[in-house]
A and B are shown apart, each in its own frame.
Chain A
Amino acid sequence: MSDKDLRYTAEHEWVDARDGVATIGITAYAAERLGDVVYVDLPEVGAAVQAGTVIGEIESTKSVGELYAPVTGTVTEVNAAVVDAPETVNADPLGEGWLVRVDYAELPELLGADEYEALTRA
């Protein structure tokens, strides 16, 4: 999986959507800007989430970032390893640092890699 294949939100989440399941995390840019992540608060498995609403929090020593649901659906899995070791978000934001998986019916329009990159350079 290359970051070119992912979709993105303007709120700095990445989405790997396939077969009706979206794996969601925060981008390397967001992780870098936050600094060392020390606490991650994620929704419960089974929770219904609405695209565009806050479903979790990512705290660094310096600040708090909110995790927005990029899609509407049901949480099927959360990354317990990241809750135990929040620094994984910095070490591998697009891989081991994924946060939640959401079952969705319809994929909303999201940003492509080039669009997202342009956003972070603005």
Chain B
Amino acid sequence: MTDLSPDPASRRSPLHDVHAAAGATFTDFAGWQMPVRYSSDLAEHAAVRTAAGLFDLSHMGEILVVGPQSAAALDFALSGPMSRLAERQAKYTLMLDENGGIIDDLVVYRTGEDRYLVVANASNREVVAARLRERADGFDALVEDESGDIGLLALQGPRALEILQNLDGLDLRADIEPGTSTADAVAALRYYRAIPGEYEGRRILVARTGYTGEDGFELYTSPEILRTLWESLLEIGAGAGLVPAGLAARDTLRLEAGMPLYGHELGLSVLPAQAGIGRAVSLDGKGDFVGRAAIERGEPADPRSDFAGRVLVGLASEGKRAGRAGYAVHEDGGGRVGFITSGALSPTLGHPVALAYVDADRGEPGTTLSVDVRGTRIPATVTPLPFYTRAAH
């Protein structure tokens, strides 16, 4: 056995002691020590698919953009039509650089007429905040990195709704129709919408968003009450099968759901269209934005990169041996046509799945390729994404 170096000391979640007491194994993630699993990542993965899982996402970056021209500033700074968002609506969007490469993928919530909450990956929090400040210069808008003052939990899975409806102390009534209850408001919340309220006397934003391919909620609130929220949810959800879930399960869940991860599928060398997220770029809906000219030219963000001329595809194999990030993808019986960016034995499907960049003319679903798994060529078929879609309800 190799590669089991201990984690270096790093930033800790407000829930660190709670995780440690629950038996969590920690991993260093973007400078944070976060739970990778509590007992079994397969059990945590299965709980999210069949019942519910609770994730501590304290490491994510939360950046507020506030001011009369915040919408215009974000239209210029980001790839999507931020000014077109209705209040309480959320949008998956990208921050691009001048070459059209991806600085980060973001979820942006419009929390008021002139207020937005931008949620960035932990590793990109500082660069996203810095670029937002630069790009908002000249607009009447203020950019504040509030990551230290906003905690985030994700409650994900088919039973997330009923669990959240039973949460004592959650009050969304100030913000909904008279005569309706908080439980009604939670149930009525649509996908990619968010509703503000109070929890234990603190402000909370309840959003129907997530990164697992299941129904669920993301809960933004004060770090001071994060522990109460965490423990209360686990207590009321236990009967429904709710378990704490770590980053290992989060990664296999998002992989099955075909969702890209910054640093694996996304980066400065990748144009949105290559990653299959061209829909997150709004060429028609608004005026100029950083990266627009490069996207319109359509040239690779970095012609010398291994990503140039390649597109993101799903690969599915038989057996149990999974291709991993960095493994080469070959033409059936031929030369290298790409590489894997994320891969695992799919816990839900029972066979290996991978996200890979392959030559654009090898990306057609049904194409047979092979993966070099440490010297052994394993056949793999290009498969439409996502690998897993939850049943309609």
Contacts and interface: CB of A to CB of B under 8 A. Distances in A.
A66 B347 contact: no
A42 interface: no
B25 A61 contact: no
Contact of A13 (B1, B6, B40): B1
Contacts of A60: 41
B324 A36 contact: no
Interface residues of B, number: 24
Contact of A12 (B1, B324, B374): B1
B320 A39 contact: yes
Interface stretch (A26-34, A43-51, A106-114): A26-34
Interface string A51-73: 00000011111111111100000
Nearest to B347: A61
Contacts, number: 69
A84 to B, nearest CB: 11
- Range of interface residues on A (Cβ < 8 Å): 20 to 34
B1 A57 contact: no
Nearest to A11: B1
A90 B40 contact: yes
B252 interface: yes
A3 to B, nearest CB: 16
A36 B42 contact: yes
A78 interface: no
A38 interface: yes
A29 B252 CA distance: 23
Contacts of A62: 36, 41, 248, 251, 344
Nearest to A65: B1
A36 B227 CA distance: 27
A62 B344 CA distance: 7
A35 B2 contact: no
A34 B248 CA distance: 11
Leading 8 A-B pairs by shortest Cβ distance: A12-B1, A39-B320, A36-B42, A30-B1, A65-B1, A33-B4, A38-B345, A35-B41
Interface of A: 11-13, 26-27, 29-30, 32-36, 38-39, 41, 57-68, 87, 90, 122
Interface of B: 1-4, 6, 25, 36-37, 40-43, 45, 248, 251-252, 320-322, 324, 344-345, 347, 374
5 contacts: A12-B4, A58-B1, A59-B320, A59-B321, A61-B347
